[in-house]
Amino acid sequence: MKIFLVDEKGVEHRLDAIEGWRVMEIVRDHGFGIIAECGGACACGTCQVEIEPEWLDRLHPARDDEQDQLDDNYAGPNERLSCQLIFTPELDGLRLRLSRVSLEKAA
Ligand code: FES
């Protein structure tokens, strides 16, 4: 299974994905710029990603605490916290890019 990640230069990368892992863990462990300061506790916003529009409906809706964090970071409509997305076989082929917020916080 895989995730496709577009980096800050616009280059797409195919990442091996493991069922049950957080999308944040998959991206971070492949060496891309996600700090995940809070370790996935939905408290920092440094794992924010932009989901390709065709995948948005396949994700569960953001819970209130995730939405609050997204609102605090002025997230766009396609943005989610990757620590709140658990990878399942239904997400095989998920496409996303690092968000402005996570890139700024990683700089
Ligand atoms: S890792 Fe902190 S909000 Fe996702």
Our answer on whether the CB atom of 102 is closer than 6 Å to any ligand 1 atom is: no
Domains of the chain in sequence order? 2-106 (3.10.20.30)
Our answer on whether the CB atom of 42 is closer than 6 Å to any ligand 1 atom is: yes
For the chain, the DSSP string reads -EEEEE-TTS-EEEEE--TTSBHHHHHHHTT-S---TTSSSSSS-TTEEEE-HHHHTTSPPPPHHHHHHHHHTT--TTEEEGGG-B--GGGTTEEEEE-HHHHHHH-
* Distance between CA atoms of residues 35 and 54, nearest Å: 26
Instruction: Specify whether the CB–CB gap between 49 and 97 falls below 8 A.
Output: yes
Of all protein residues, the one whose alpha carbon is nearest to atom 3 of ligand 1 is: 42
**Residue 101, pLDDT score:** 67
* Distance between CA atoms of residues 32 and 55, nearest Å: 21
C-alpha 84 to ligand 1 mean position (Å): 8
C-alpha 43 to ligand 1 mean position (Å): 6
pLDDT band at 3 (very low <50, low <70, confident <90, very high): very high
Q: Which residues contact 36 (CB under 8 A, 6 or more apart)?
A: 24, 25, 28, 44, 46, 47, 83
Our answer on whether the CB atom of 37 is closer than 6 Å to any ligand 1 atom is: yes
**Residue 49, pLDDT score:** 95
- Give tens-digit pLDDT for 8-66: 888 999 999 999 999 999 999 999 878 899 999 999 989 999 999 999 999 999 999 99
